[in-house]
Amino acid sequence: MASEIPTHVITLVALPSQGKTLTQGALDAACDAAAAAGFTPTKPLWLEAGEAADIGLYANGGTSIAIDEAGVDAILQPLDGFRHRRLLVSDMDSTIIQQECIDELADELGLKPQVSEITERAMNGELDFKAALRERVALLKGLEVAALERVYTDRITLMPGAKTLVQTMREDGAQCLLVSGGFTYFTERVRRAVGFHADHANTLNLHAGALDGTVLEPILDKESKLASLKGAAAQMGIPLEATLALGDGANDLPMLQAAGLGIAYHAKPSVRAAAKACIDHGDLTVALFAQGYRRSDWVE
């Protein structure tokens, strides 16, 4: 080899909790696919037997690998010296939590189908995010503030693996930032529940104890998320290669593309197609395996 150190690594993960086991046959098939794509694979290294493994790769002209293994997530990345990322910037709705908060607020008014349809189109990049947010918030006018607490308490659930991901990275010295196009009422609570260092989101305007149908300007959008990633990295004095970004919607895409490791998490089709890496099957702990953490390293 021209270099003793592989230029890339592909991590394969099949979580038993998802009813899937990573077999030696799957690793052999991945090595064959890597070779066909122009890489020279090394011997697979188990991160967790039957669950996750790394395959080192020498990029002899290869740039991407198609892995066709049901229930297996495969994340390809260059070995740039920053395997354990020093900064995590994550979206909240449908990423760290399992819901879209604005849709659940709309349900309090019987408007969930109407608002959810707008949310889906906005997250897939079919609508301007700012205009779509203003339109949806306008439909919430008159909703009492007490409804926000009901929604958070009764409807919002953390994504499997969220606390393990954040706590493990935090224990390893990483900074963890929650950045959402949603609302501060929820990001503040999710930040505390999961263990993020800080959160940034939009603020709902109130009048007489109810939502007034507007959101505080300027609206936090995709460019704001990208700026948060770059600003936090600069403040820490680290390159973007040392960062990890997670998200599922079109307003996450710029930060996913800019981060050293940008992962589209159970994402909308347009986001999956444009992201560097995807988690389509497993939970958020796949992002730990992708950084080379073994299960014994996890903080649970």
Res 285: pLDDT: 97
Secondary structure (DSSP) of 106-152 = HHTTT-HHHHHHHHHHHHTTSS-HHHHHHHHHHHTTT-BTHHHHHHH
Task: Kindly state the tokens that stand for 15.
Answer: 């979580």
235-265: pLDDT as tens digits: 999 999 999 999 999 999 999 999 999 999 9
Residue 3 pLDDT > 80, yes or no? no
Q: Determine the Cα angle at 178 with ends 173 and 179, to 5°.
A: 135
- Give dist(CA 175, CA 198) in Å, integer: 9
First vs last Cα of the chain: how many Å apart? 40
Task: Kindly state the tokens that stand for 47.
Answer: 């991160």
Res 2: pLDDT: 47
Say whether 221 is catalytic.
no
179-238: pLDDT as tens digits: 999 999 999 999 999 999 999 999 999 999 999 999 999 999 999 999 999 999 999 999
Mean pLDDT of the chain: 95
Which pLDDT band, with edges at 50, 70 and 90, does 16 fall under? confident
41-68: pLDDT as tens digits: 999 999 999 999 999 999 988 788 988 8
Which pLDDT band, with edges at 50, 70 and 90, does 1 fall under? very low
> For a pLDDT cut of 90, what percent of the chain falls above it?
91
Which pLDDT band, with edges at 50, 70 and 90, does 108 fall under? very high
Give mean pLDDT, residues 25-48.
Answer: 95
Burial class (CB in 10 A: 0-12, 13-18, 19+), 135: middle
Largest CA distance in the chain: 70
Given the residues 28, 54, 68, 93, select the one marked as catalytic. Answer: 93
133-170: pLDDT as tens digits: 999 999 999 999 999 999 999 999 999 999 999 999 99
Who contacts 91 (Cβ-Cβ below 8 Å, separation ≥6)? 179, 180, 181, 225, 246, 247, 248, 249, 252
> For a pLDDT cut of 70, what percent of the chain falls above it?
99
The per-residue b/e assignment along 32-56, b for 16 or more CB within 10 angstroms, e otherwise, is ebbeebebbbbebeebbeebbbbbb
Res 61: pLDDT: 81
Res 4: pLDDT: 78
CB 118 within 8 A of CB 140: no
The per-residue b/e assignment along 204-226, b for 16 or more CB within 10 angstroms, e otherwise, is beeeeeebbbbbeeebbbbebbb
Say whether 103 is catalytic.
no
- Which is more confident, 14 or 17? 14
Given the residues 91, 199, 252, 283, select the one marked as catalytic. Answer: 91
Secondary structure (DSSP) of 233-264 = HHHHT--GGGEEEEE-SGGGHHHHHHSSEEEE
- Give dist(CA 46, CA 64) in Å, integer: 22
